[in-house]
Structure 1
Amino acid sequence: MSSAEQSPVAPTAQAAPAAPVAIIGTGRVGAALGKRFASAGYPIRFGVRGDKDLSELLDQVRATAGGVSVEAKSPMKAAREAELIFLAVPGGALFDAVSSLGPLMGKVLVDCTNPVRWDKGPVWDPPEAGSNAQALQALAQPAVVVKAFNGFGAEFHEDPELGGRGIDVFMAGDDEGAKARVAEIALRSGFCPVDAGPLRNAGLVENAAVLWIHLAMVGGQGRDFGLCLVRREG
């Protein structure tokens, strides 16, 4: 999928499948993805540990959901009901989070995290495997991992409009079918999916996020921009 195939900004709820989507993490990114995917017609299962009160978030997501179900469950129960599982936790919590999901046969894990530390600005700090996504793939067999939705702030997860089209979502993964499924939910939700190659390129995708963070937080650009492919006309 190329950014030349520009996505609609508005989500297309009527065509979305009935299978629930699990979102592990209810911070800014997880909450924003829940709202956006629900508005595109996807049932949402938030995976959360303990007895955290999510009533306000659930009400907000249901208000955008057009009648699809939105529930909060334990991470294991949320993952059990879904085939697409979005990991929207802090980068340092990724591996602990995946350990709570239970059996992963047939699941697609979408890694939305970035391994970043701070030293007068963001510094990419990957595990020995080369990237968070590659380390996750080694840990989470037999699930399939796709790196995606990590390259911009939560504002764009909730509203992907940028310059009259959806912001680009760079995806890296070894399984073409899994990437196609992630591209589909991205496109239906108003994003513009871009295939960034195999999982070994996940580090490049993570570094693009580090560049975004630097420009936003240190470089004076603010948060209202994205890194996108723009093609010359003619």
Structure 2
Amino acid sequence: MSIAIIGAGAMGKGLARRLAAAGETIVLAGRDKDKVAAIAADIPGDVTGASIDQAANADVIILAVPYPEAANALAEAGPLTGKVLIDISNPVGPELSLAVGMTTSAAEEIQKLVPQARVVKAFNTVFAELLDLKLSKPDTPPQVIFAGDHEFANHRVEALIKAIGFEPLDAGPLKNARFIEPVGLMMIQLGHGLGRGSRIAPRFVEY
């Protein structure tokens, strides 16, 4: 399975490193092809740089740009018909407020932009720093909440989460991104607003 990551910020690079370490073939894509190619060259494994339109050739596409930039990035990528598109964004407004919600979500708005794609919400509750964690069997891995409307796409995303050593948590249909995204904002508030740092993640457990 080939994976394209649109966006070479902290999350994009972190996901590229971890997925490449898991043996996946990664295309890191951005508007400045030369810049992303240089970034890709510094990541161990099968990672190459590309323009955004070339990302559409991958089986799975991770949209790793800030939510305000999503529409332009997707316009460059094309219709993405039948592609699995993972939205990792948090719609952050002024003073760390929720810019989109609660009758819709960033993920649902992205699905409207590319209606032929299979959008899954995931990774928005995980800080980039956690993507560099070295985990062994006794360790408790970070939990990744995901939601989507397409069973095939959900299984693909669940498999990727497991491949990087994290724990998937299926949160149901894509409309439940309306609840997942506020959790992402809560993590930003805890980590940066309240000084807890970026080595924290939410976890749901049974008692």
Alpha-carbon separation, structure 1, partners of 2:118 and 2:188 = 27
The equivalent of 2:49 in structure 1 is 72
Residue identity matched to 2:116:
P
C-alpha deviations, 1:49-108, integer Å up to 9, x for none? 1344235422331x2x2xxx311111111222x111000001111111111112311201
Structure-2 change in CA distance of 1:55 and 1:141 (3 Å): closer
CA contact (8 A) 1:24 1:47 kept: yes
CA contact (8 A) 1:72 1:78 kept: no
C-alpha deviations, 1:150-186, integer Å up to 9, x for none? 1121111333759812211100111122111100011
Residue identity matched to 2:22:
A
> Is there any run of 5+ residues in structure 2 with no aligned partner, and where?
none
CA contact (8 A) 2:41 2:48 kept: no
Are 2:71 and 1:95 equivalent residues in the alignment? Answer: yes
Residue identity matched to 1:216:
G
- TM-score of the two chains, using structure 1 as the length reference: 0.82
CA contact (8 A) 2:29 2:36 kept: no
Which shows bigger deviation, 157-166 or 101-110?
157-166
The structure with the largest helix share of the pair is 2
The equivalent of 1:42 in structure 2 is 24
CA contact (8 A) 1:84 1:109 kept: yes
CA contact (8 A) 1:127 1:135 kept: no
Alpha-carbon separation, structure 2, partners of 1:57 and 1:132 = 27
Are 2:98 and 1:124 equivalent residues in the alignment? Answer: yes
Structure 2 matches for 1:32-181, cutoff 5 A? Answer: 32-61=14-43, 63=44, 65=45, 69-80=46-57, 82-119=58-95, 122-126=96-100, 130-159=104-133, 161=135, 164-181=139-156
The answer to which structure, 1 or 2, has the higher relative contact order (CA under 8 A, 6+ apart) is 1
Residue identity matched to 1:190:
G
2:172 to 160, 178, 197: 197
Alpha-carbon separation, structure 1, partners of 2:49 and 2:194 = 38
Aligned length: 206
C-alpha deviations, 1:123-173, integer Å up to 9, x for none? 111179711100111110111100001112111133375981221110011
Q: Counterpart of 2:97 in 1: which secondary structure? A: strand
Q: Counterpart of 2:168 in 1: which secondary structure? A: strand
The share of aligned pairs that are identical, in percent, is 35
CA contact (8 A) 1:147 1:202 kept: yes
Structure-2 change in CA distance of 1:161 and 1:221 (3 Å): farther
Structure-2 change in CA distance of 1:161 and 1:214 (3 Å): farther
CA contact (8 A) 1:111 1:133 kept: yes
